[in-house]
Structure 1
Amino acid sequence: MTARTDRPTPETDQPHDLVGIGIGPFNLSLAALTHGLPTPITATFYDQRPAFHWHPGLLIDGASLQVPFLADLVTLADPTSPWTLLNYLRTRDRLFPFYFAERFHIQRAEYDAYCRWVSQQLPSLHFNHQVDAIRWNPQHAHFEVDFTQLDPHGEAEALGRAHTRNIALGIGTEPHIPEPLKPLTDTGTVPVIHSADYLHHRQQLLEAEHITVIGSGQSGAEIFLDLLRARPTGHEKLHWLARTPAFAPMEYSKLGLEHFTPDYTRYFHALPEAVRDQLVPHQWQLHKGIDHDTITAIHDELYRRTLHGGWPDATLTPGVTVRTAGRLANTRIELHLEHTQQGTRTRLTTDAVVLATGYRERPLDPILDSLGTHLRRDTAGRPRIDHHHRLDLDPTITGNIYVQNAERHTHGVGAPDLGLAAWRSATILNHLTGTTPYPLPQRTAFTTFGLTQNTGIPAQNPVLVPLIRGN
């Protein structure tokens, strides 16, 4: 492996305007909108994976997005972009079938294929590039981004360095396993699968005598339904456990959905830190509930299995926490359960477990290690992030580091929502360029989320005070 390249080349003799790290839907949205800027900027995006794939382990047949198709990569910022979902369908001669299907929510597999189509055409994207470190070069007033180029087998092939004035971090989330369930990850021959890998191990799970699904969100519901449909009537042998007090529907009322508007994001960002921290856990039904169609399909399938008498061998129990978990002779799993409301405890023995326990934001500290002393934090030690989605850095660093889907603590439940992807990308590009290539609406919700100070008059667009210096 050669030394890291740091010589001037046609690509590096001038720093980039933007380097994106990670190519998930959010940075892919940013790349697509960057490609359409009237005044071009130099931008490049890196991802260590060999190609774009969006949650491949959860592309269950028939599973749909929980947002309308207009929440593609670009439409809500620029419906004239060549990278809209509708244009993708046009290039596939599928506009008329889509029109007659009358579906506002597309299947996840179709969204994945659409994003891959975009990713294959944008020249600024570089897969098989693993970013290793970010540093600030005070002498030249730009960031240095060290990366390793990987071969098709994921092995290091060459080292490189990019220079840039601005960075967009879109490193995404990672599967989360609660502490009491972590012993299950070392269960020998017993299959314990996080929902992120469900399809890769589906057949192995179906061969188990008894299966337990843990988690009450959309993924848990879809996996339970898929397993239920695949098991013989009367011999389902399924358990579905959830901490929530009910298998609750997603809040999908029209006014409830306005929590995923820029208006609410601005309102939430302006709240005191302590208030924001109190709000997020109580808003779980806005983003962790189950859509009505899935709940209906589960009930319909269970009901169908009672038509000839008897009940399906499927147990659905909410309000349950797993206190501890472990192996039984390396062939089975024992879960120690507690019912929150009853205060009762019991044990459940099972042959396979699916952990539909969600995702957490990947920590930014490892990749920002060299910038640690320059990064300003809140009272909980989390990065402070301003309303332009920039990290709050001390004034000695004149470049910007924007973040995508790492700001739920500052911007609320809409941070991971696909419906705000184009708006956030446009916000970043408007700020980065100092112009308005993507005019954004001043008002996006009928709900007024707060009052202006002193007057008591409802404010549609409260004035926000930036957390860090303006550029």
Structure 2
Amino acid sequence: MTSENAKTLDVIGVGLGPFNLSLAALLHPLTDIEAMFFESRDQFDWHPGLMMEDCTLQVPMMADLTTMADPTSEFTYLNYLHRTGRLYNFYFYEEFLIPRSDYNRYCQWSAEQMHSLRFSHTVTAIKANGEGYQVVVRDNTSQLETIYQARHVVLGTGSVPAIPEGIQHLKGNANCIHSAAYLQRRAELQASNSITVIGAGQSAAEIVLDLLDEQPQHGYEINWLTRGDGFLPMEYSKLGLEHFSPDYIDYFHQLPEATRDSIRKGQDLWYKGISDFTIGEIYNRIYRRSIGNKPVPITLQARSELLNAMAEGDGLRLAFEHRDQQQAFEVTTDKLVLATGHRHPIPDCLSSMLDYFEKDSQQRLVINRDYTVASKVPLAGNLYVQNGELHSHGIGAPDLGLGAYRSAAIANQLIGRDHYVIRNKNVFQNFGVAEKWQGSSSRDESKAPELLSA
């Protein structure tokens, strides 16, 4: 193990998804900060298992790495188009929601311009010391480990596939895959006789649509089940979208933990639903193939919870319960696709420091409003979190549209000045009691029922 003693870096970023890449882009033009970002993968590659050709982002193209913090940045999506000779093509394309594959290529292009990024390097340990943090990094090619010193650390390690509790034992079973690996396993799926998809979010719907497109050629049966209330559209009204704003983060963060958890339970369709377009395309495919009352080999069923599964022959037998009818039933299938979302674990590299940090009643890290992890003991530097604060900052945490804002807020703290403008009023509505009504009540709380009845 070697030690990088030349200088103490101002910040080290752990992981290079869109959010830490955004921070790297915002720090890139600043000459008074030394930053380095490490990523274990060989290159930037955003959800490669779901990069179907026709899929788009669910947010406008302004939700790029920098536009919402600095539209003049060299790392905007429009500048990428300009620099790669595609600006007029995009102008005539006249679409606000860009192809997911193009967003991925844009991020790769951006990464190629930055000098602070180190791919094929894995952070194996982080330890606090009197100067900030000691960060151990393994070069995946040489396997050599180097120790770096940094004043601050920003975690952007992202998420991992979530597997339902009742079928954890199917990990590693060749007939059970997570949606994150869909494209890599698509040919294998299409060679089977029956495919069952679990989940009712955008990823599940995109997979079902893709399977529908190839179904006539391959002849497999599709089952699509979810424990949710239905195959429902994402909330996409303009006032609903205002909940993906810095203003809502301010409101949400100051609420008690129990209140925040209760609120989020009712907000799933604001970030987990299906786009209207995708729902329409699925319905239209089924309708057209059913003309003349022809049977279409697809079964859709909601309110159906997957409880258990077991290998049977060359396939799987799945045990469900219908949540309304309280009726148990079984589904036999060759292949199972779990579009069951992702979770955000605390990365292993922090294992030696876990006792330093505050945790809430659910054993989640307590994240301050400024994206620093709350510590039990004084630390010389800050540990920041990118996209691990859904429980504390609300539904906008994983949203690309808030990525540049969060990165700008962190960047300003790292350099000790407000280089990037953070605006306090970005929405038209009030999430709490409006300022003009603050302190307007003079009533005795004990008489509330009387006042309400009056």
Give TM class, smaller chain.
over 0.9
- Paired residues in the alignment total 440
How far residue 373 of structure 1 moved from its aligned partner, in angstroms, is: 2.8
Do the aligned residues in 2 keep the contact of 1:233 with 1:312 (CA within 8 Å)?
no
- 1:214-270 residue CA offsets vs partner (Å, 9 max, x unmatched): 111000000001001101189451100011111000000001111111111111001
> How far 1:455 sits from its partner (Å)?
5.3
Matches within 5 A, 1:43-58: 43-58=35-50
2:335 paired with 1:349: no
2:373 is equivalent to residue 383 of structure 1: no
1:171 to 147, 151, 157: 157
Residue 101 of structure 2 aligns to a residue whose secondary structure is helix
1:20 to 13, 16, 34: 13
Which residue is equivalent to 1:79? 71
Unaligned runs of 5+ residues in structure 2 are 441-454
Q: 1:456 to 1:45 in 2, by over 3 A?
A: same
Matched, 1:35 2:28: yes
Displacement of 1:7 in angstroms is 5.5
- Give the equivalent residue in structure 1 for 2:134: 144
Task: Let me know the Cα RMSD of the aligned residues.
Answer: 1.7
How far off its partner does 1:103 sit? 0.5
Distance between the aligned counterparts of 1:288 and 1:198, measured in 2? 18
- Report if the CA contact (8 A) 1:175-1:196 is conserved: yes
Deviation at 1:282, TM superposition (A): 1.5
Any conservation in 1 of the 2:11–2:150 contact (CA below 8 Å)?
yes
* Distance across 1 between alignment mates of 2:169 and 2:198: 15
For residue 16 of structure 2, give the secondary structure of its aligned residue in structure 1: coil
Whether contact under 8 Å (1:146, 1:161) holds in the other structure is yes
Contact preservation (8 Å) 1:49, 1:127: yes
Taking the TM superposition and a 5 Å limit, the aligned residue runs for 1:245-264 are 245-264=229-248
Which amino acid in structure 2 is aligned with residue 384 of structure 1? V
Correspondent of 2:96 among 99, 104, 109 = 104
The aligned amino acid for 2:256 is P
The equivalences for 1:234-249 within 5 A come to: 235-249=219-233
Does residue 1:451 correspond to 2:433, yes or no? yes
Establish whether residue 358 from structure 1 lines up as the match of residue 341 from structure 2.
Answer: yes
Of 274-283 and 250-259, deviating more is 274-283
| Whole-angstrom distance in 2 between the partners of 1:452 and 1:315 | 48
Distance 1:7 1:63 in 2: 43
| Corresponding residue to 1:214 among 189, 194, 198 | 198
- Contact 2:8 2:150 (8 Å CA) reproduced: yes
Contact residue 171 and residue 362 of structure 1 kept, 8 A? no
Corresponding letter in the other structure for 2:210: D
2:105 maps to what in 1?
Answer: 113
In the alignment, the residues of structure 1 paired with residue 197 and residue 439 of structure 2 have an alpha-carbon distance, to the nearest angstrom, of: 49
1:467 aligns to what? none
Shift of 1:442: 1.3
Alignment of 1:318-467 (within 5 A): 318-329=302-313, 331-364=314-347, 366-451=348-433, 456=438
Cα distance in structure 2, aligned partners of 1:23 and 1:48: 9
CA displacement at 1:369 relative to structure 2: 2.2
Aligned-partner Cα distance in 2 for 1:454–1:325? 57
What do the CA deviations read for 1:63-120 (whole angstroms, capped 9, x no partner)? Answer: 0101100000000000000000000001111111111111000011000000000111
Structure 2 match to 1:89: 81
SS in 1 for 2:193: coil
2:449 — aligned with what? none
In the other structure, the counterpart of 2:262 is: 278
How far has the Cα of 1:436 moved from its partner? Answer: 0.6
AA at the equivalent of 1:60: M
The 8 Å contact of residues 18 and 166 in structure 1, kept in 2 or not, is answered as yes
Deviation at 1:362, TM superposition (A): 2.4
**Deviation readout 1:327-372 (Å, 9 max, x if unpaired):** 113x1210111110111111111111111111011224x3222222
Amino acid paired to 1:438: Y
Residue 193 (structure 1) aligns with: 177
Question: Cα distance, 1:453 vs. partner?
Answer: 8.9
Which of these residues, 306, 310, 313, is aligned with residue 297 of structure 2?
A: 313
Judge conservation of contact 1:234–1:311 (CA < 8 Å) in 2: no
Task: Provide the TM-score with structure 1 as the length reference.
Answer: 0.90
Q: Is the 8 A contact 1:233 1:305 kept in 2?
A: no
User: For residues 313 and 161 of structure 1, what CA distance do their matches in structure 2 show?
Assistant: 57
Unaligned runs of 5+ in 1: 459-471
Moved more, 379-388 or 237-246: 379-388
- How far apart, CA to CA, are the structure 2 residues paired with 1:100 and 1:455? 48
Matched AA of 1:400: N
Higher helix share: 2
Give the superposition deviation at 1:145: 0.2
Structure 2 counterpart of 1:430, which letter? N
Report if aligned partners of 1:241, 1:316 keep a CA contact under 8 Å in 2.
Answer: yes
Distance in 2 separating the partners of 1:20 and 1:457: 44
Residue 8 of structure 2 contacts residue 149 of structure 2 at CA under 8 Å; is this kept in 1? yes
- Aligned residue identity for 2:133: F
Q: Does 1:129 align with 2:127?
A: no
CA-to-aligned-CA distance 1:392-446 (integer Å, 9 cap, x gap): 1245312011100111111011111100000000000112222111011111111
- Residue 182 of structure 1 corresponds to which residue in structure 2? 168
Give the Cα–Cα distance (whole angstroms) in 2 for the partners of residues 385 and 7 of structure 1: 30
